[in-house]
Structure 1
Amino acid sequence: MAIPLGSRAETTYQALHDWQHSLHSTCNQEHSVIDRLVRSISRRLSVRDNVHVGANFHVGRNSRIWAPRSLVIGRDTYVGKNVTVEVDGHIGPGCLIANNVGIVGRTDHDHNQVGTHIRHSDWVGDKPATLSTPVSIGRDVWVGFGSIILSGVTIGDHCIVAAGSVVTRDLAENSIAAGNPARVVGFRFAPDKLVLHKETLNLLENERR
């Protein structure tokens, strides 16, 4: 008995659909493997000596993270593309560091050496004990695009550093800072909401342990 034309067309269509779905699934799996491989290579190239990162850490392309002695980065922290971090210290969990940010030493080269060109003066990588001043960045901090943070400062929890700012001194928790040099221009949360925000984050972090 001949198969009606309509049924034959439906069967052919279903076969093509199944083949397309299988091909799409295979391609997705291959792309997923390639994406993981690219991320792994990018991370290995970006995260250099003396740096320790937490779980679910992300770093974008063309970024470089290095420390003279030790830098610890907490879990769930995101570092964007073209970021330079070259300091000792600590960056807390849940931070967002946007593209083109620089977190760098203010005393990387000993500019007080008499009779020595700055190009050949002592460098922090060779003499970290005398030239390195650590940075401390709290948890849940957003550092905006193109900002610069100089070593030796402490940025409290839940701060926001506006795009293009230059941070040269400490920022208390919950501050919003902007400008060059960066100054406090506001606060992220009202006092009651800050308490609730802290309590909620503490519960989330306790659940992950």
Structure 2
Amino acid sequence: MLGKLAQRLKRCLFVGRRVSIGSGFHIGILSFVSSSRHLRIGNDVYIGKFCSIQVNGSIGDGVLIANNVGIVGRRDHDMRAVGTSIRRAPWVGTDAYLADDPKNSIEIGPDVWVGFGAVILSGVRIGRGAIIAAGSVVVDDVAPYDIVSGNPARVVARRFSTEQIVEHERILAEKAQ
């Protein structure tokens, strides 16, 4: 009972009002999730401690986000505003043209694992079942079931063989019914 109360309290304090969450959602201490337009978080999503997720878009079901992860917009501030310091430049939270820019949105598919300390910049799609290695900086799309690592993140392996992907998805579909 106390655990559910703590999660509800954390949800009220650390998840913005423009964020919708599915069932089985967990957010670790001192993590913050917000969006300038809308962020949809699926079912059974785990967000670790000390994460900053400030982006529009979606995070699929069964996603595991480790501690110290940043998922942020790459065009949050208009750095090209002449005659305005970057501190006072137009910002995604107050300017519609920035908030509506597709480059300030992200799509993370279901069954994705984002490792400790990874940074994912908006404007990318991360496919179903992908793994983002610890400390990686993701600036480009990640295909389903690819494992990426580095700065910038590059494909280093596949999570499963083609046959294993078919079996994995079959089993997950059976469990969902």
Same fold (TM over 0.5): yes
- SS of equivalent residue, structure 2 residue 9: helix
- Higher strand content, 1 or 2: 2
CA 1:64 to 1:128, structure 2 compared with 1: closer, same or farther past 3 Å?
farther
The runs of 4+ residues in structure 1 deviating greater than 4 Å are none
Tell me, yes or no, if structure 1 residue 120 matches structure 2 residue 88: yes
Higher Cα Rg, which structure: 1
Deviation per CA, 1:73-92: give whole Å up to 9, x if none: 00001001111000000100
Which of residues 162, 172, 175 in structure 2 aligns to 1:191? 162
Tell me, yes or no, if structure 1 residue 111 matches structure 2 residue 96: no
Please name the residue that 2:133 is paired with.
162
Pairwise CA distance, 1:115:
1.1
CA distance in 1, matches of 2:129, 2:6: 31
CA distance in 1, matches of 2:115, 2:4: 27
Please name the residue that 1:201 is paired with.
172
8 Å CA contact 1:103–1:149 kept in 2: the answer is yes
Q: What is the RMSD of the two structures over their aligned residues, measured on CA atoms?
A: 1.0
Please name the residue that 1:76 is paired with.
44
Aligned residue pairs: how many?
Answer: 174
CA distance in 2, matches of 1:128, 1:74: 26
Which of residues 164, 171, 176 in structure 1 aligns to 2:147? 176
Unaligned regions of 5+ residues in structure 2, if any? none
Counterpart of 1:83, as a letter, is C
- SS of equivalent residue, structure 1 residue 40: helix
Counterpart of 2:129, as a letter, is H
Q: Which of the pair has the greater relative contact order for Cα pairs under 8 Å at 6+ separation?
A: 2
How does 1:1-209 map onto structure 2 within 5 Å? 33-131=1-99, 132=101, 133-205=104-176, 207=177
Counterpart of 1:200, as a letter, is I
Identity %: 48
Pairwise CA distance, 1:37:
2.2
8 Å CA contact 2:115–2:132 kept in 1: the answer is yes
Unaligned regions of 5+ residues in structure 1, if any? 1-32
